[in-house]
């Protein structure tokens, strides 16, 4: 019986990207459906994710799974090849801790630092740097957070390692720099250079104007509020 | 430093700590709960075990620290497999994780919007809170517990937060039972379990704490 795997995503979404990368790492074929999340979300998306109405949604044999981290855990448990979480419960808990740290602290603060008004930027930037320092400590001399190969922490950290780096370029910020965070910087280079990662990342030349537009929108909305 | 193999750095009124203790009780595990004085001064052990967040709960297994309640509950379930807290199939587990994530993202903050209000609780805050509870009630449906017929992961993640509901009802002037009768019955059902009853404090005691905390914060 053939497996039906679909991903409802958005080409520029770091969360959507995670689901796709995880499936690619497992060698699982899937159909990708790009949702117009800023315009008109499809009826199917609203049917499969009625509570949050967001991408990504993973559809496996007709059953929807939503929320990127829930999707990553599901993919890991369903397709056992090329595991990206450690087997040992303590190591697994540690990975989950760093994933939560990235999603709740690192990524949101770094994004905030990108579009914050001038008078607030310094404070947020300092906070973001503290988080980056802490995240770098999790690497602990390893090539990837997962060790020799990409693990779930690396997949999630792509939001920092790629998407935030692109954002920084637009804003002329240099938060994730080689001299301030040498290990983390090297990690982001190594990560982006993996062939399986490279082939699925949204292209820089398309992402740059998109993020520029998004930042302008956030700044505009913030000024109105 | 305690010689106990399983230790939780604890606060009696923290719903997050309650989650861990209920999970340990469900597994029939002996543990030591070390009370932290969150207002007076956090212990050296807490600050060194959880340097990033400096929060309870911290769970120590043979001295190795784990932080963040959902991560700890997962660890307990994976380390001591019987009885299982998560369903056996991947899809059921995904459902459970989804609801745990929903509860963490929505319920605690919505509670805060009520008990932290100065003066009259905004209608929007009460409305939002009830809407969230109704979404949970819909997920529960006519089942005894959130995922199937046995008490498990989602129940453990939610039931401690309900210990604060009485305080919210008093401050907000509404009752959960009137708005969400099925959820209310589920609460009573869970509170009958020994693993839960041993851990969840009486609602009046939580209410007293909330009033004291409001005074401290200059809200009352």
pTM for the model stands at: 0.96
User: Which of B25, B55, B79 is the last residue before a domain boundary?
Assistant: B79
Domain, as residue range, for B193? 90-217
Q: Do B98 and A93 touch (CB under 8 A)?
A: no
Q: Which residues in chain A have Cβ-Cβ distances shorter than 8 Å to B101?
A: 67, 69-70
Question: What mean pLDDT do residues A75-88 have?
Answer: 98
For B39-70, write each residue's pLDDT tens digit.
Answer: 889 999 999 999 999 999 999 999 999 999 99
B69 and B97 share one domain = no
* B198 in the same domain as B102: yes
Interchain pair A67, B97: CB under 8 A: yes
Q: Nearest CB to A65: which of B52, B94, B102?
A: B94
Judge: B61–A90 Cβ closer than 8 Å, yes or no: yes
Same domain, B129 and B170: yes
User: Residue A2: pLDDT band by 50, 70, 90 thresholds?
Assistant: low
Q: Which of B52, B79, B90 sits opposite A78 (nearest CB)?
A: B90
Same domain, yes or no, for B51 and B150?
Answer: no
Q: Does B89 touch chain A (CB under 8 A)?
A: no
Chain B positions touching A97 (Cβ under 8 A) are: 66-68, 71
Query: A-chain residues within 8 Å CB-CB of B72?
Result: 93
Question: What's the per-residue H, E or C state across chain A?
Answer: CCCCEEEEECCCCHHHHHHHHHHHHCCCCCEEEECCCCCCCCHHHHHHCCCCCCCCEEEECCEEEECHHHHHHHHHHHCCCCCCCCCCHHHHHHHHHHHHHHHHHHHHHHHHHHHCCHHHHHHHHHHHHHHHHHHHHHHCCCCECCECCCCHHHHHHHHHHHHHHHHHHHHCCCCCCCCCCHHHHHHHHHHHHCHHHHCCCCCHHHHHHHHHHHHHHHHHHHHHC
Same domain, B49 and B147: no
* Closest-CA distance of chain B to residue A203, Å: 31
Query: Looking at the predicted structure, is the pLDDT value of residue A141 above 70?
Result: yes
Q: Is residue B85 one of the residues assigned to a domain?
A: no
Q: Does B93 touch chain A (CB under 8 A)?
A: yes
Chain B residues within 8 A of A74 when measuring between CB atoms: 90-91, 93-94
* End position of a domain, from candidates B79, B111, B134: B79
CATH 1.20.1050.10 for the A89-223 domain, yes or no: yes
Q: Do B98 and A65 touch (CB under 8 A)?
A: yes
Answer yes or no: do B91 and A89 touch at CB < 8 A.
no
Distance from A21 to chain B by nearest Cα, in Å? 19
B1 lies in a domain?
no
Residues B148 and B74 occupy one common structural domain: no
The answer to whether residue B68 is domain-embedded is yes
Residue A1's pLDDT is what?
Answer: 45
- Give pLDDT, residue B1: 47
Q: According to the model, what pLDDT value does residue A224 have?
A: 77
Closest residue in B to A64 (Cα) is: B91
Are residue B124 and residue B70 in the same domain, yes or no? no
All residues of chain A having their beta carbon less than 8 Å from the beta carbon of residue B67 are: 97
- Residue B126 included in any domain: yes
Interchain contact B97–A (C-beta under 8 A): yes
Chain B residues with beta carbon closer than 8 angstroms to that of A26:
none
Flag whether B84 is in a domain. Answer: no
> Is B182 in the A-facing interface, judged by CB distances under 8 Å?
no
Q: Tell me if B98 and A66 make a contact (CB, 8 A cut-off).
A: yes
Q: Do A93 and B72 touch (CB under 8 A)?
A: yes
Topology given in CATH for the domain delimited by A5-78? Glutaredoxin (3.40.30)
Looking at the fold, whether B104 and B58 belong to one and the same domain comes out as: no
One domain, residues B160 and B186 = yes
B42 touches A: beta carbon within 8 Å: no
Tell me the CATH number at B94: 1.20.1050.10
Q: What is the pLDDT along chain B (220 residues), one digit of tens a residue?
A: 455 699 999 999 999 999 999 999 999 999 999 999 988 899 999 999 999 999 999 999 999 999 999 999 999 999 999 999 999 999 999 999 999 999 999 999 999 999 999 888 999 999 999 999 999 999 999 999 998 899 999 999 999 999 999 999 999 999 999 999 999 999 999 999 999 999 999 999 999 999 999 999 888 7
Angle at the Cα of B22 from the Cα atoms of B190 and B83, rounded to 5 degrees:
90
Residue extents of the structural domains in chain A: 5-78, 89-223
Tally of structural domains, chain B: 2
Q: B101 and A89 in contact by Cβ < 8 A?
A: no
A interface test, pick of B98, B134, B153 with most A CB neighbours within 10 Å: B98
Per the CB < 8 Å rule, is A134 touching B78?
no
Identify the CATH number of the domain in which residue B42 sits.
Answer: 3.40.30.10
Contact B112, B119 (CB under 8 A): no
Give the rounded percent of residues in chain A with a pLDDT score beyond 90.
80
- The answer to whether residue B204 is domain-embedded is yes
Task: Examine the fold and report which residue of B30, B48, B79 is the final residue of a domain before the chain moves on.
Answer: B79
> What average pLDDT does this structure show over A22-27?
97
Q: What is the pLDDT of residues A147-183, one digit of tens each?
A: 999 999 999 999 999 999 888 888 888 889 999 999 9
B110 and B177, same domain (yes or no): yes
A vs B: CB pairs below 8 A: 54
């Amino acid at each position: 019986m053939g497996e039906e795997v679909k991903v409802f995503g958005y080409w520029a979404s770091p969360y959507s990207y995670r689901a796709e990368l995880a499936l690619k790492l497992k060698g699982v074929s899937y159909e990708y459906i790009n949702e117009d999340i800023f315009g008109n979300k499809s009826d199917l998306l609203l049917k499969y994710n009625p509570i949050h109405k967001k991408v990504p949604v993973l559809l496996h044999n007709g059953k929807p799974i939503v929320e990127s981290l829930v999707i990553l855990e599901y993919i890991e448990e369903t397709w056992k090849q090329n595991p990206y979480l450690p087997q040992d419960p303590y190591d697994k808990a540690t990975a989950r801790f760093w994933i939560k740290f990235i999603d709740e602290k690192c990524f949101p603060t770094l994004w905030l630092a990108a579009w914050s008004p001038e008078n607030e930027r310094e404070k947020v930037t300092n906070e973001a740097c503290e988080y980056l320092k802490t995240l770098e400590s999790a690497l602990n001399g390893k090539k990837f957070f997962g060790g020799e190969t990409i693990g779930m922490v690396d997949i999630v950290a792509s939001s920092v390692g790629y998407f935030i780096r692109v954002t920084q370029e637009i804003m002329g910020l240099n938060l994730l720099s080689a001299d301030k965070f040498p290990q983390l910087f090297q990690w982001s280079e190594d990560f982006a250079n993996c062939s399986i990662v490279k082939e699925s990342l949204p292209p820089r030349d398309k992402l740059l104007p998109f993020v520029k537009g998004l930042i302008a929108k956030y700044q505009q909305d913030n000024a109105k509020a | 430093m305690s010689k106990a193999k399983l230790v939780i750095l604890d606060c009696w009124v923290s719903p997050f700590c309650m989650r861990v203790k209920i999970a340990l009780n469900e597994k029939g595990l002996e543990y030591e709960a070390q009370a932290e004085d969150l207002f007076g001064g956090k212990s050296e052990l807490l600050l060194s075990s959880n340097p990033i967040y400096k929060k309870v709960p911290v769970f120590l297994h043979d001295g190795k620290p784990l932080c963040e309640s959902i991560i700890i509950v997962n660890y307990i379930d994976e380390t001591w497999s019987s009885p299982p807290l998560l369903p056996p199939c991947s899809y059921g587990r995904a459902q459970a994780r989804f609801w745990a994530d929903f509860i963490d993202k929505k319920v605690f903050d919505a509670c805060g919007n009520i008990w932290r209000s100065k003066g009259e609780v905004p209608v929007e805050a009460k409305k939002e809170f009830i809407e969230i509870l109704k979404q949970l009630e819909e997920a529960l449906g006519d089942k005894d517990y959130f995922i199937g017929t046995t008490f498990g992961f989602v129940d453990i993640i939610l039931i401690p937060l309900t210990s604060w509901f009485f305080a919210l009802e008093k401050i907000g002037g509404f009752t959960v039972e009137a708005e969400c009768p099925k959820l209310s019955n589920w609460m009573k059902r869970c509170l009958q379990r020994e693993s839960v009853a041993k851990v969840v404090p009486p609602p009046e005691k939580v209410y007293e704490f909330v009033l004291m905390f409001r005074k401290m914060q200059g809200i009352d």
